[in-house]
Structure 1
Amino acid sequence: MFDHVAIGVSDYEASKAFFLKALAPLGVAIVSEGSLGVEMSPNGQASLCLGKTDEKPSRLHLAFAAERREQVDAFYRAALEAGGKDNGGPGLRPQYHANYYAAFVIGPDGHNVEVVCHKAEA
């Protein structure tokens, strides 16, 4: 559905480092970086763009898709190591559907960052 999502961040370098480390288990890497900020993607298609803002960023919920539950687990560990705060460890969330396996962390600007796998355990 989305081509890209762009968000303003209060500390550009801290946010860039956080998202790169936290989303590395999904294959996310820098696609381009310039005066407008940084664009990250796992495949060069849909991307997350970060740019410095002097305004207070509104809190967002960002959910990224994982192919495997192990990626959800790896995201959670990497995000905590990158300075994220726990907002719900890896596990099933049957209130959404039977195979909804997700983890949540709070990032540098207070954004709720989620990685979710919708597939049944292999």
Structure 2
Amino acid sequence: MFSHIFVSVKDFDRALKFYSEVMLVLGNEARFCEPEKPWAGWHSEGRSRPYFVICKPYDGHPHNPGNGQMVAFQAKDRNTVEAAYEAALRTGGTSEGAPGLRPQYHPNYYGAYFRDPEGNKVCVASHCEP
């Protein structure tokens, strides 16, 4: 469905450290990193697309996180959701909802919500039974 998703940042080095840790836990591979541009991207293991990219805004204007926007990453299991959440908080993220079941979405939805250091909302979710 998706080719790629871009999320803008103002402090590229801080965002790179944050997303590198979260992507490592999720098993996503680095696709490219060009700090001089600056931008970096990751994709699912063994795949080329879709990919997720962080970058400074193309138009040169300041970054502003979008209200009501969120990027959600799939985790292979509940332990991975918890590990990604811990990595996010350890590298400067803030909690928007601790790991747990969210049965209002479906009986096996296990998710965690956080904001990256730039204020962008992120979710990590598993849809598998325990």
TM-score by length of 2: 0.85
Residues 1-122 of structure 1: pairs in structure 2 closer than 5 A: 1-34=1-34, 35=37, 37-43=39-45, 44-53=48-57, 54-59=61-66, 60-121=69-130
RMSD of aligned Cα (Å): 1.4
Aligned partners of 1:101 and 1:50: how far apart in 2? 25
Tell me the SS of whatever aligns to 2:97: coil
Aligned partners of 1:38 and 1:106: how far apart in 2? 18
Contact 2:18 2:91 in 1 (8 A): yes
Aligned partners of 2:86 and 2:65: how far apart in 1? 25
Alignment length (residue pairs): 121
Letter of the 1:3 counterpart = S
CA shift, 1:3, in A, is 1.7
Aligned partners of 1:73 and 1:10: how far apart in 2? 27
Identical aligned pairs, as a percentage? 32
